[in-house]
Structure formats: structure tokens, C-alpha cells
């Protein structure tokens, strides 16, 4: 009888051993990798009946790794995901989701209380971030503009004289690998920033290891939290300077309405009626309403709105013949 | 006859009256005592407000009215009216008075949001010794857009005042080089 083959993608010593123990009892041939990159390499060169995905050294979310593996496999396997309590895994027909057992963690805790060394059971790896961006080319950037223009699948390095932040985006998610900020959500308050970016390819993504310090968030939630973190009205107003500009909704209103801070503060239907010609000032009640201001800034950074200066023939709203202006200037000169 | 306006604003005691005095052909007056019939007509609507008023005749066709407004919120209702036919806004800050310097950005925002006018910030009393520390000044003015010029002046000095007004008018003159002239 040909043995059934199982690939395990996991770096958690105890859980991994438990899975292997069980499957080997079932006469399966078990192979083991601890990171997504090796996993993809294996499934490209061999067929597996079952792939088990647990916590591993990669930053790629488990459901995304499952999708990549499923699409790359010639012979489609069963894929099992061990899910943490707070993880959400979308339903897929090829997926079986199992709640990750926690009894072994509890066991480790008890052991630790008795002074038993358990660190070798946890696997913590430090990421080498020297040369993170291979060809750094730093440019002075406004941090708000940077996030407004930030695309998916990019590595970025943000710095000023005091702070340094390294991270990347993958799809709609943002990962922070290193940050000197006490609170990463204060990032929009950084001044005199320069940034450097570089595309992140799939292979590199799969081989990026994450440790407990890695911050991960949906980019949209991240921006909203960062804006919400600014409570200085003047700072907020600086982000929205051209306050007589006309605002139009660019994103579909049902999407915009999914975001609480926006839904609760901005009348989306009113904004979505172009005849209303709403200006920034109209929406933020001349800067009096800080929550409306925050909501509008979120929409601005998330590229949900278009901001247009009303057509003005000159930089200034002044109508005077040039010849008159010259006369006035001459007269004052001669005073 | 065409009347254009130049608006001078700034906190109490920042030198607005002095400033206007330098280029006005009449003693600056509060608007409840206008001098001529013509002036009265023009500024009638503004007489309820504590404005200082000066005048400069350019030629038979053009007159400049100079207004000094304390910029306080209780006069907000008057600004849209005041800014009609306005050519420039001069914002004064007393360099010996922190509060006065802090108010500059407030006034800038107020006028910027009402109308786009060439705007110059002038710090007055630079001839005095008890100036606010430079770092503090920089901090208070840091959120002004970079294209707003900041001049150091003595508001009792006619040449300083002339240069300040000329700078604002020059900004206007250069703003629309290729634009058609509009009456
Ligand atoms: N030395 C000096 N005194 C000034 C200057 N500007 C204004 N003053 C004086 O400061 C006081 C207040 O000025 P004023 O024009 O009445 O301020 P306003 O309240 O803004 O109209 C007056 O005594 C002026 O003579 C300046 O640049 N230098
Ligand atoms: Mg006065």
C-alpha cells in the first residue's frame, strides 16, 4: 500500500509533534516545514493528500497560504488550518478549520511556574532587517500623502531624525516589522519624514518571518485608528487645508457606510448628491466638529473622496485691471 | 470712481492704527466719524464695528480704503462684506506679545477661508528690546503656509509700512501673468 503523504507547515514544537504523532499512527508519511516558502517549494515538486497549516514563521495569513497552496497543487489536497481564537478564516470548500488546541500552552505555563525552561518550545526568531530595502532611495514625503498613495505589496522604510519604521503591505494588510514609536498609531504625526519603498514579491513575502513583535492590521483599520489617535484640532486641520474645495464621493456609498467613524459622522447620501456642492468647510462645520473632521480625513487618506479646488482663474479672488494695480503700486512707492 | 480695500488685522495693540496712519492721507478714524459724504456712503454698512479707517487717493478714478479690524470673533459677520473689493490682507503681530503672535494663524485661517487674497504677515515693534524668543515665534508661525511672507517691521516707520503693502500688491500683480485683464 502506498502511504498517504502529509505536509505540515508549523513551527510550534509541541503542537507539531502532536500532529505528527497522530498522523504517523495512521500510517501517513509526514513531512515538515516551518515556513510558507518551503511549503510552496514542496507542493510544487510533490503531491500531498493533506496539508496542515498551523502557526509558522511566515507573515502570510493562513487562509492566504492555503489558497496559494491549493492553486499551485496539481493534485488537490485536503487542507487543514489550525486556527487561533481571534483569527478569522473564510469558508472554502477545500478547507477544514480546526480550533487550535490550547491545552499544551496551559501545560507550558504550569511548567514555567515551576521554573522549568520552556523557551525552546516557543520558537522566537529575530528578523534580520539590515538590507531590508535592497536599493534604498529616500525621498522627503508628507506622511499623510505617503499613506494616501501607499499601494499593496510594497516594502517601506519610514524615518526622520528620531524615529524609524519598517514594514510592508500585502494585499489589504499592513505589517510593521520594526518601529521605534511608542504607539504605532501616532505615525501620522511624524514630521520631516523621508521614505523609501520597494516592491514585495510573493517569494519574499513567503520567506519573511514574523515574531511576536510583528504588528499586523488591515490597512483601512490602521489608517482609521491613526486618524482617530490625533486629537489636536490644529493638526487635523493641517491635513485638510484647502477648505473651500468641493468634495465628491468616489467610493461606492455602501462601502463607505461600512466604516463606523464615517457612517456616524458624515451624511453620505447628502455627500453623494453632486448638486449639493459640499465644501470641506460645510462638512466639518468650519472646523468646529472634530469627529466630522476625523471622518473626512479618513475618507481622504483612503481615497474615498475627490477634492477639487473650485475653478479659480487666478491664485487670488481679486478682480482688478492690471493697469490699475500698477498705478496703485506706483502711487504707494512714491509716498 | 472705484474703491479698493486693503485690510489690516491683528490683535489689540499690535499696531494696526499706526500702520494705517503711515499711508493714509487722513488721520485714521474710527468709523463713527467718517469725513466726507463719499466715504460715508462706502463705509456705511461697516460703521457699527470698531474699525479704523484710512484713505489713499490714487487718481481721479481710484481710491484705496484702508481698514483696520481687530479680527475678533464677534465681528465675524462683517468680514464677507469687508472683503468685497479687497486687494490684500496684512496681518500684524506684536513681536513683544506672545498672545498677539499666537493669534496670527487664527486670523490667517479666518481670512483664508473667506477669500483668497494676497496675504502678508508683519511682525511689529521689532525696534523694541523685549522681543519674544525666536524659537517661540517660529513655533507660533510654523503652521502658516510657506508662501505667506513674514516681514519684520516698525509700524511707526512709513518705509516699512509701504514695503509691506507693496509686497502684498506685488504678489497680486505676479499671480496671474498670463491672465486676461478683467474689469
Ligand atoms: N515702538 C513701536 N511702537 C509701536 C509699533 N507699532 C505700534 N506701536 C505702538 O503701540 C501702541 C499700539 O498701537 P496701535 O496702532 O494703536 O495698535 P492697534 O490696537 O492694533 O490699533 C501705540 O502706542 C503705538 O504707537 C512699532 O512697530 N514700534
Ligand atoms: Mg487701533
Nearest CA to ligand 1 atom 26: B125
Question: Given A238, A243, A313, which is nearest B113 (Cβ)?
Answer: A243
How many Cα neighbours within 13 Å face the side chain of A62? 29
CA A101, A105, A110, A111 torsion-angle sign: positive
Highest mean pLDDT of the ranges A307-316, B71-80, B104-113, B157-166: B157-166
Contacts of B179 in chain A (CB under 8 A): 313-314
pLDDT of residue A1: 66
How many CA within 13 A on the CB side of residue B114? 21
CB contact under 8 Å between A318 and B118, yes or no, is yes
- How does pLDDT run across A178-219, given as a tens digit for each residue? 888 989 999 999 999 999 999 988 777 777 766 656 788 899
Whether B182 sits inside 8 A of A319 (CB atoms) is yes
Tens digits of residue pLDDT in B35-83: 455 555 555 445 445 578 889 999 988 999 999 888 777 777 778 888 9
Of B50, B45, B97, B55, nearest to B75 by C-alpha is B50
Rounded Cα distance, A248 and A245, in Å:
10
Q: What does the alpha-carbon distance between residue A160 and residue A163 come to, in Å, rounded to a whole number?
A: 5
Q: Is the pLDDT of residue A257 over 50?
A: yes
Are A59 and A214 in contact by the 8 Å Cβ rule? The answer is: yes
Record: contact A328-B179, CB cut-off 8 A: no
Which residues of chain B have a CB within 8 Å of the CB of A333?
162, 166
Nearest to A237 by CA among A308, A190, A285, A306: A285
Mean pLDDT of chain A: 87
| pLDDT for position A201 | 80
Which residue does chain B place closest to A328, by CA atoms?
A: B58
Hey, what domains does chain B have and what are their CATH numbers? 2-182 (3.40.50.300)
Distance CA A305, CA A327 (A): 44
Query: Which ranges constitute the DSSP H helices of chain A?
Result: 13-25, 36-45, 62-72, 103-113, 143-149, 202-207, 219-228, 233-239, 253-256, 260-265, 268-271, 280-283, 290-301, 322-333
Q: Which atom of ligand 1 is nearest to the CA of B52?
A: 21
- pLDDT tens-digit map of A134-183: 888 999 999 999 999 998 889 999 999 999 999 999 888 899 988 889 89
Beta strands B52-57; B29-30: pairing state: antiparallel
Distance CA A212, CA A253 (A): 37
Chain A neighbors of B87, CB-CB under 8 A: 318, 320, 325, 328
Who among B62, B87, B166 is closest to A318 (CB)? B87
3-state secondary structure of A284: coil
Please report, rounded to a whole number, the percentage of residues in chain A having pLDDT higher than 70: 93
Count of CB contacts below 8 A, A vs B?
81
Cβ distance B80 to A317 under 8 Å?
Answer: no
SS (H, E, C) B1-70: CEEEEEEEEECCCCCHHHHHHHHCCCCCEECCCCCCHHHHHHHHHHCCCCCEEEEEECCCCEEEEEEEEC
Contact (CB, 8 A) for A308 and A245 = yes
What pLDDT score does A310 carry? 61
Position A322 scores a pLDDT of 85
ipTM of the complex: 0.88
State yes or no: pLDDT of A270 exceeds 50: yes
Cα atoms found within 13 Å of the Cα of residue B109, Cβ hemisphere only:
18
pLDDT, one tens digit per residue, over A291-308 is: 999 999 999 999 999 887
B82 touches A: beta carbon within 8 Å:
no
Q: Is B63 on the interface with A (CB under 8 A)?
A: no
Instruction: Report the pLDDT value the prediction gives residue A98, as an integer from 0 to 100.
Output: 92
Amino acid at each position: 500500500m502506498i502511504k498517504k503523504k502529509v505536509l505540515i507547515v508549523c513551527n510550534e514544537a509541541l503542537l507539531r509533534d502532536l500532529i505528527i504523532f497522530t498522523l504517523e499512527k495512521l500510517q501517513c508519511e509526514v513531512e515538515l516545514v516551518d515556513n510558507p516558502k518551503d511549503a510552496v517549494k514542496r507542493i510544487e515538486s510533490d503531491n500531498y493528500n493533506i496539508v496542515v497549516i498551523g502557526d509558522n514563521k511566515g507573515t502570510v495569513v493562513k487562509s492566504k497560504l492555503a489558497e496559494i497552496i491549493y492553486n499551485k497543487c496539481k493534485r488537490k489536497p485536503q487542507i487543514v488550518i489550525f486556527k487561533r481564537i481571534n483569527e478569522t478564516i473564510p469558508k472554502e470548500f477545500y478547507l477544514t478549520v480546526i480550533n487550535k488546541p490550547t491545552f499544551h500552552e496551559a501545560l507550558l505555563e504550569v511548567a514555567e511556574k515551576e521554573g522549568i525552561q520552556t523557551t525552546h518550545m516557543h520558537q522566537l526568531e529575530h528578523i534580520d532587517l539590515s538590507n531590508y530595502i535592497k536599493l534604498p532611495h529616500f525621498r522627503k514625503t508628507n506622511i499623510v500623502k505617503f499613506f494616501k498613495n501607499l499601494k499593496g505589496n510594497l516594502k517601506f522604510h519610514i524615518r526622520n531624525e528620531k524615529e524609524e519604521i519598517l514594514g510592508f503591505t500585502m494585499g489589504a494588510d499592513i505589517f510593521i516589522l520594526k518601529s521605534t514609536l511608542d504607539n504605532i498609531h501616532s505615525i501620522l504625526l511624524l514630521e520631516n519624514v523621508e521614505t523609501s519603498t520597494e516592491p514585495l514579491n510573493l517569494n519574499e513575502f513567503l520567506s519573511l518571518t514574523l515574531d511576536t513583535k510583528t504588528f499586523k492590521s488591515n490597512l483601512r483599520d490602521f489608517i482609521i485608528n491613526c486618524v482617530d489617535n490625533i486629537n489636536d484640532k490644529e493638526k487635523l486641520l493641517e491635513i485638510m487645508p484647502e477648505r473651500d474645495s468641493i468634495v465628491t464621493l468616489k467610493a461606492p456609498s455602501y462601502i463607505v457606510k461600512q466604516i463606523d467613524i464615517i457612517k456616524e459622522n458624515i451624511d453620505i447620501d447628502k455627500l453623494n448628491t453632486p448638486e449639493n456642492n459640499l465644501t470641506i468647510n460645510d462638512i466639518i462645520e468650519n472646523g468646529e466638529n472634530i469627529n466630522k473632521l476625523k471622518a473626512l480625513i479618513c475618507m481622504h487618506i483612503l481615497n474615498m473622496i475627490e477634492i477639487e479646488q473650485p475653478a479659480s482663474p487666478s491664485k487670488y479672488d481679486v478682480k482688478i485691471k492690471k493697469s490699475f494695480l500698477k498705478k496703485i503700486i506706483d502711487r504707494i512707492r512714491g509716498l | 470712481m472705484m474703491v479698493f480695500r486693503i485690510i489690516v488685522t491683528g490683535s489689540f495693540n499690535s499696531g494696526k492704527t499706526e500702520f494705517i496712519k503711515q499711508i493714509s492721507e487722513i488721520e485714521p478714524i474710527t468709523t463713527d466719524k467718517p469725513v466726507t459724504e463719499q466715504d460715508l456712503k462706502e463705509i456705511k454698512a461697516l460703521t457699527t464695528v470698531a474699525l479704523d479707517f484710512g484713505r489713499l487717493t490714487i487718481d481721479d478714478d481710484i481710491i484705496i480704503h484702508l481698514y483696520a479690524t481687530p479680527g475678533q470673533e464677534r465681528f465675524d459677520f462683517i468680514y464677507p462684506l469687508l472683503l468685497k473689493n479687497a486687494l490684500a490682507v496684512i496681518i500684524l503681530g506684536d513681536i513683544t506679545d506672545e498672545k498677539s503672535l499666537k493669534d496670527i494663524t487664527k486670523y490667517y485661517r479666518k481670512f483664508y477661508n473667506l477669500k483668497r487674497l494676497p496675504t502678508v504677515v508683519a511682525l511689529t515693534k521689532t525696534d523694541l528690546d523685549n522681543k519674544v524668543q525666536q524659537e517661540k515665534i517660529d513655533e507660533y508661525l510654523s503652521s502658516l503656509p510657506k508662501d505667506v511672507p513674514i516681514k519684520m517691521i516698525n509700524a511707526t516707520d512709513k518705509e516699512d509700512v509701504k514695503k509691506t503693502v507693496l509686497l502684498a500688491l506685488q504678489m497680486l500683480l505676479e499671480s496671474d501673468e498670463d491672465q486676461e485683464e478683467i474689469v
